[in-house]
Each structure stands twice: as C-alpha cells, then as structure tokens.
C-alpha cells in the first residue's frame, strides 16, 4: 500500500475503530484501523515499538503511517524501530527534535491519508511543549499530553495564556468528540478535580465509573469532550466554583481565565 497525500477524501467519514496499546507505566499508544485499507493501521505516538509490533503480529495488521503529537521520548521513542520493520510516513509537528518526521503539519492544515480513508485537521495546541499538535477527525481527537481526562498536561514549554488558549480551542470541538489522550491519569486527575470543585456532581459520578474501570484494569479512555467540559477543571476556568477555588488557593483575585488556569496548573503540580 502506497500512502500519498492531498488526494480527495471519500465523502463519508466513518466512526473510527481505535485500539489502545499500553506502554511504559501509563502511556497509551493508539492504533487506528484504516477504514479503506483492511488490515492496515495508523499508530499515534508510539513511544515504544515492542508493544506495537506485538499487537500488529497478534492482529495480522500492517502499519501504514505514524502520527506524532509532540517530541517527548515516551511518544516518539519507538519510531526508529517501527521504521526498521516498515518504511511508512511519519507525520508530526514542526520541531527539529522529531528527527524521523517525513511530513510536517501545521495548524489548520488537513492531514489526508486518502488511501486509508483517514483525514484529520491539525490543531496547534502549545503549552505542554511549544510545538504540540492534536489530530482531529472522524469525531475523534488525538491530543497527546495537552488534554487528559479530568486534567491536562504539565506546562513544560508554554505559558498559561498559551495553554489556556489551546484547551479553549479543544473545548470548542463537538461534545460527542471522542478524546484519546496520551496517558492513563484519570483517577489521580479526578482527585485533584474534586479538591478544586468538590460539589461537581458529574465529577463525583465519573469517579465511581473510573474506580470501577481501574479496578478491572480497563482504560478510562477515550473520554468525550462533553464529559470533559463537565468534569475537567482546566476546561472550566470560567466556572464560578473553579474561579473561587483558584482565588482562595492563590489568596488573591484573578483577573481572567488564563490566570485561573495558571493557578490551577501550579496547584496541581504540587498536589499529592
């Protein structure tokens, strides 16, 4: 199968079949079944090649492309090894720290893999890293370490204004968007979310579901944007209860949502 870019997409965009592959202690590598190419998959953020290759062998699928959200080793570390098995396109953000990239994608651009029946819009979402991107298409969002269920990534390279803008951009996606994050952090995130916003009924209800899933060693992902808008304090920096909690924690009035976000993010960094 030859994967080219830029050709016309089929008119319908089917619901994607996505499998999770675990890596390291809490990473998820996502394998997307190519709707138009049976037994071909696209991998998102393969931090480790071994579990991906094991899943390909188990399922008899071939790798058709690699999508990367950001340069951190736990998201790209498996790329060289995967490319040794099969030379496939490597699509990622404009960042020299991703050496294996064969195609660079930027904000607002479409990433069409027509032969595979896949098409994603690229969303630039700086904050966790400056060049971080997310892939949005087919009702699914692959957002790496920008948005987690009930939380968000650490702000390694960006500032609160940038990262708050990135999360606000994601928040504007349709509520039924399925959210595929890079890590299983949901239970710990909910402990913080309920410290900030203890009377949030949706978060309390979600905690029960998450506890059940984790007790059965099942993923809590994908989430949906609609759920995240209700339970994730980092998407609720304009909610009066969240603003009040952030102001109490900071001991001062906060002038805008970015300031609220900055306080929440710093608070979470210290939270045990």
Q: Is 70 a residue of the active site?
A: yes
Question: Which C-beta is closer to Zn ion: that of 40 or that of 183?
Answer: 183
Q: Which two tokens stand for residue 26?
A: 């809490």
- Catalytic residue selected from 75, 112, 132, 239: 75
CB of 26 vs Fe ion, minimal distance in Å? 9
In order of 42, 123, 133, 199, 240, the CA distances from 237 in angstroms are: 34, 21, 22, 16, 8
Residues 183-212 that bind Fe ion (CB under 5 A): none
Cα–Cα distance between 43 and 36 in angstroms, integer? 16
- Catalytic residue selected from 70, 71, 132, 138: 70
Minimal CB distance to Zn ion: which residue? Answer: 72
Contact flag: residue 145 with Zn ion (CB under 5 A): yes
Identify which of 184, 185, 199 has the alpha carbon closest to the alpha carbon of residue 271. Answer: 185
Identify which of 180, 173, 168, 190 has the alpha carbon closest to the alpha carbon of residue 238. Answer: 168
Q: Is 128 a residue of the active site?
A: yes
Report whether the peptide linkage leading into residue 222 is cis, meaning its omega lies within 30 degrees of zero. yes
Question: Which C-beta is closer to Fe ion: that of 48 or that of 228?
Answer: 48
The interface region with Zn ion, picked from 61-69, 98-106, 141-149, 264-272 by CB under 5 A, is 141-149
Residues 86-145 that bind Fe ion (CB under 5 A): 145
- Catalytic residue selected from 72, 132, 138, 197: 72
Are 26 and 53 spatial neighbours (Cβ–Cβ below 8 Å)?
no
Cα–Cα distance between 141 and 117 in angstroms, integer? 16
Q: How many residues does the chain have?
A: 272
The interface region with Zn ion, picked from 69-77, 164-172, 226-234, 255-263 by CB under 5 A, is 69-77
Q: Is 40 a residue of the active site?
A: no
Q: Is 75 a residue of the active site?
A: yes
User: Can you give the binding site for Zn ion, defined by CB under 5 A?
Assistant: 72, 145
Catalytic residues: 70, 72, 74-75, 128, 145, 183
User: Can you give the binding site for Fe ion, defined by CB under 5 A?
Assistant: 74, 145, 182
């Amino acid at each position: 199968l030859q994967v080219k870019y830029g050709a016309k997409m089929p008119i319908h965009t089917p619901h994607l079949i996505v499998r999770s592959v675990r890596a390291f202690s809490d990473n998820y590598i996502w394998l997307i079944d190519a709707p138009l190419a049976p037994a071909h998959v696209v991998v998102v953020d393969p931090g480790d090649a071994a579990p991906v290759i094991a899943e390909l062998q188990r399922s008899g699928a071939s790798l058709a492309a690699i999508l990367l959200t950001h340069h951190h080793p736990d998201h790209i570390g498996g790329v060289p090894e995967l490319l040794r098995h099969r030379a496939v396109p490597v699509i990622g953000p404009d960042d020299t720290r991703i050496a294996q990239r064969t195609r660079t994608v930027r904000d607002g651009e479409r990433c069409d893999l027509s032969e595979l029946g896949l098409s994603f819009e690229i969303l630039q979402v700086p904050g966790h890293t400056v060049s971080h991107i997310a892939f949005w298409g087919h009702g699914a969002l692959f957002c790496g370490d920008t948005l987690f269920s009930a939380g968000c990534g650490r702000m390694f390279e960006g500032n609160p204004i940038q990262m708050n803008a990135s999360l606000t951009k994601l928040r504007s996606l349709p509520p039924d968007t399925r959210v595929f994050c890079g890590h299983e952090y949901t239970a710990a995130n909910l402990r913080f979310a309920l410290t900030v916003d203890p009377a949030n009924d949706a978060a309390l209800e979600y905690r029960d579901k998450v506890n059940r899933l984790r007790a059965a060693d099942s993923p809590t992902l994908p989430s949906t944007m609609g759920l995240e808008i209700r339970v994730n304090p980092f998407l609720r920096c304009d909610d009066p209860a969240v603003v009040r909690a952030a102001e109490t924690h900071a001991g001062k009035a906060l002038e805008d949502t970015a300031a609220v976000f900055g306080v929440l993010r710093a608070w979470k960094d210290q939270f045990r």
